[in-house]
């Protein structure tokens, strides 16, 4: 079982506008357009502790910061911090908090101060690094239900941008799932095909083949999804990106949810219909093991995906 964190836990330090400050000092204006008009984009990353190496490794740091750069460009933030600035800030946040365990890192960029809906500056930024153990669901799995909420479309509030605004849709789906007794919701797009979950992408397994909805299905272009497609290729598994119909979920031998925070969570049932034998499936377990070895730098072949934090 993963170690549980005390819900009152807060990291000692945060990075606000490039400066390490105490977590309590990291505040923004109540009239910041980042808050009042959701002019905020962000990234969520994980760092993994390897006790044998006495080292903390940030997973896919560069890819996350490149996605953040894309998000900042689309919402037209004026002169935001660069990828190099954010790299230094992530390292500063992890080191200031002396984190030597699995962590989660949230990097945010927003319009600060006071302004109208289309204000593009002044841009504020923050980096929060905190301990976050693996969720128990990695081992035990979850039960999902298809949501009645549809995914926001690319021509409305584009899911490809990692904007806080998009998480209203995820929140509604998550609240509904909780209300009906499911652990998570599966969101369909306007075409009625599977999009993703509130905070992660989906894979199903049919006839031994991995299938995941395409990047045009209303998903965030997930770095974990891309990683798993890469891994599947390296492992000579068949993996395809194609539309997935709702009832295909019920036919799947296996299904899992993936994302930086979720990692790889087996889905044991959808809409009360048991998948396979109701246990995490063998392909899911196989990918979980490979993933865990990679993220902790136990598999040298993928060490380029990791950035060590300590000297
Ligand atoms: C809506 C949504 N989809 C997918 C993902 C997975 O993306 P990634 O693997 O890049 O973390 C996330 C994770 O943050 C998410 O919030």
In this structure, the residues whose C-beta lies within 6 A of any atom of ligand 1 are 44, 170, 196, 199-201, 219-220, 222-225, 259-261
Query: What is the rounded distance in angstroms from the CA atom of residue 158 to the CA atom of residue 222?
Result: 14
Query: What is the rounded distance in angstroms from the CA atom of residue 160 to the CA atom of residue 219?
Result: 6
Which is catalytic among the residues 27, 98, 162, 178? 162
Query: What is the rounded distance in angstroms from the CA atom of residue 249 to the CA atom of residue 228?
Result: 19
Cα–ligand 1 centroid distance for 4 (angstroms): 22
Which atom of ligand 1 is least distant from the CA of 166?
1
Cα–ligand 1 centroid distance for 172 (angstroms): 16
Neighbours of 213 (CB within 10 A): 23
| pLDDT single digits (tens) 123-171 | 999 999 999 999 999 999 999 999 999 999 999 999 999 999 999 999 9
162 has catalytic annotation:
yes
Task: Compute mean pLDDT per 10 residues along the chain, 311 residues long, and list them.
Answer: 77 98 97 98 98 98 98 98 98 98 98 98 98 97 98 97 98 98 98 98 98 98 98 98 98 98 98 98 98 98 98 89
Which atom of ligand 1 is least distant from the CA of 196?
3
Q: Which of 230, 260, 262, 291 to mutate to test the pocket of ligand 1 (most atoms within 8 A of CB)?
A: 260
Query: What is the rounded distance in angstroms from the CA atom of residue 219 to the CA atom of residue 132?
Result: 25
Query: What is the rounded distance in angstroms from the CA atom of residue 231 to the CA atom of residue 274?
Result: 27
Cα–ligand 1 centroid distance for 199 (angstroms): 5
Q: What is the pLDDT of residue 157?
A: 97
Instruction: Produce one character per residue of 43-65: b if its CB has 16 or more CB atoms within 10 Å, e if not.
Output: bbbbbbbeeeeebbbbbbbebbb
Q: What is the pLDDT of residue 141?
A: 98
Contacts of 97 (CB under 8 A, 6+ apart): 11, 12, 13, 129, 130
Structural domains in the chain, sorted by start: 13-131 (3.30.470.10), 137-295 (3.20.10.10)
Q: What is the pLDDT of residue 1?
A: 39
The residue behind tokens 């400050």 is 21
Q: What is the pLDDT of residue 3?
A: 61
- Full-model pTM: 0.97
| pLDDT single digits (tens) 249-262 | 999 999 999 999 99
Cα–ligand 1 centroid distance for 96 (angstroms): 27
């Amino acid at each position: 079982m993963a170690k549980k964190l005390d819900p009152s836990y807060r990291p000692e330090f945060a990075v606000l506008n490039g400066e390490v400050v105490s977590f309590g000092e990291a505040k923004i204006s109540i009239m910041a357009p980042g808050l009042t008009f959701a002019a905020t984009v962000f990234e969520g990353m994980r760092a993994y502790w390897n006790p044998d190496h006495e080292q903390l490794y940030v997973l896919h740091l560069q890819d996350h910061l490149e996605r953040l750069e894309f998000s900042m460009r689309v919402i037209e933030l004026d002169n935001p911090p660069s990828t190099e600035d954010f790299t230094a800030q992530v390292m500063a946040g992890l080191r200031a908090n002396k984190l030597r365990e699995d962590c989660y890192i949230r990097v945010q960029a927003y319009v600060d101060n006071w302004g109208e809906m289309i204000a593009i500056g002044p841009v504020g930024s923050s980096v929060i690094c905190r301990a976050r153990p693996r969720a128990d669901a990695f081992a035990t799995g979850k039960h999902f239900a298809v949501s009645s909420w549809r995914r926001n479309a690319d021509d409305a509030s584009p899911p490809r941008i990692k904007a806080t605004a998009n998480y209203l849709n995820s929140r509604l789906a998550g609240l509904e799932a909780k209300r009906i007794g499911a652990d998570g919701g599966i969101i369909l797009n306007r075409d009625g095909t599977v999009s993703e979950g509130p905070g992660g992408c989906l894979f199903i397994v049919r006839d031994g083949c991995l299938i995941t909805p395409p990047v045009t299905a209303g998903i965030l272009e997930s770095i974990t999804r891309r990683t798993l497609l890469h891994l599947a290729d390296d492992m000579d598994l068949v993996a395809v990106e194609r539309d997935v119909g709702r009832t295909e979920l019920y036919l799947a031998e296996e299904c899992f949810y993936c994302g930086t925070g979720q990692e790889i969570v087996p889905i044991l049932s959808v809409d009360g219909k048991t998948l396979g034998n109701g246990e995490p499936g063998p392909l899911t377990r196989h990918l979980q093991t490979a993933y865990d070895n990679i993220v902790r730098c136990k598999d040298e072949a993928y060490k380029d995906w990791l950035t060590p934090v300590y000297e």
